[in-house]
Amino acid sequence: MSQNQTDTPEGILLVDKPQGITSHDVVSKLRRVFHIKKIGHAGTLDPMATGLLVMLVGKATKVSQYLMSMDKEYTGTIRLGQTTDSQDADGEVVEERPVPDLTEGTILKEMKAFIGDQYQTPPMFSAKKVKGQPLYKLARKGKTVEREPRVINIAKFELSRFASPELDFLVACSKGTYVRTIAHDLGERLGCGGHLCGLRRTGVGKFRIEKADTIEAIESMSPSALRKRLIPVLQAVPSHAL
């Protein structure tokens, strides 16, 4: 049944993305649920990552740039002693080193050094484009090209648990920050290398994972229940951003 202009759904939907699917897979699922094509998101998550995706339905897609600029919060796990070509668990292990007898105090000291503004070089296995080519396509061919570092900000980097060779963390950072690069760089600072082996996005600006719905829950909702889950754009974005 076709929808007219007045009853086309629009708003922001918070989704808890499961592991193993892409952000575009979530877009495709929501297009089927809402029966409209105009659906986007305010920042992707890698297939390995889980957690908060801010999905934009209907006319809400027009505020994507504003929402993408919001700070992000993540929890995750770093595996020390192994470096991978992608800086996360989806890549191939390229180096193994023994993990030294680390204390929580040593780890906290190195984590503290990440706080504040800094330059970060995007990893080769990323969607960032150089001369029109996504870096990951070049990386899959075994190529490495020069990448321009960009300024990021890390507001918070905390240790949640340490059980060698793994450590759990919480990080709050600006848009465009590669958490797997943080994991890689922390491993280097600790002298043994490391890679990201788990990641969950818990916050995007004022949006929290606790308010998100799973794909399964969304697919089982009635049309009226679905509409009630949509956050009006005016509630989420200041009027000057519209």
pLDDT above 70 for 2: no
> Cβ(37)–Cβ(85) under 8 Å?
no
Gap between the Cα atoms of 48 and 35, Å rounded = 28
Architecture of domain 72-204: 2-Layer Sandwich (3.30)
What is the Cα Rg of the chain in Å? 19
Domain limits of the chain? Answer: 11-69+208-241, 72-204
Give the residue among 119, 115, 174 at the shortest CA–CA distance from 150: 119
SS3 (DSSP) at 214: strand
Catalytic annotation present for 7: no
Average pLDDT over residues 228-233: 94
pLDDT of 1: 34
Kindly name the residue from 7, 16, 25, 46 that is annotated as catalytic. 46
Q: What does pLDDT average to over the chain?
A: 91
Note whether 11-69+208-241 and 72-204 share their fold. yes
Higher pLDDT pick, 2 / 102: 102
Gap between the Cα atoms of 78 and 72, Å rounded = 18
Task: Give residue for tokens 């043994």.
Answer: 192
Architecture of domain 11-69+208-241: 2-Layer Sandwich (3.30)
Percent above pLDDT 70 for the chain:
96
pLDDT above 90 for 202: yes
For 138-156, what is each residue's pLDDT tens digit? Answer: 777 777 878 889 999 999 9
For 30-60, what is each residue's pLDDT tens digit? Answer: 999 999 999 999 999 989 999 999 999 999 9
pTM of the entire predicted model: 0.91
What pLDDT band is residue 6 in, cutting at 50, 70 and 90? low
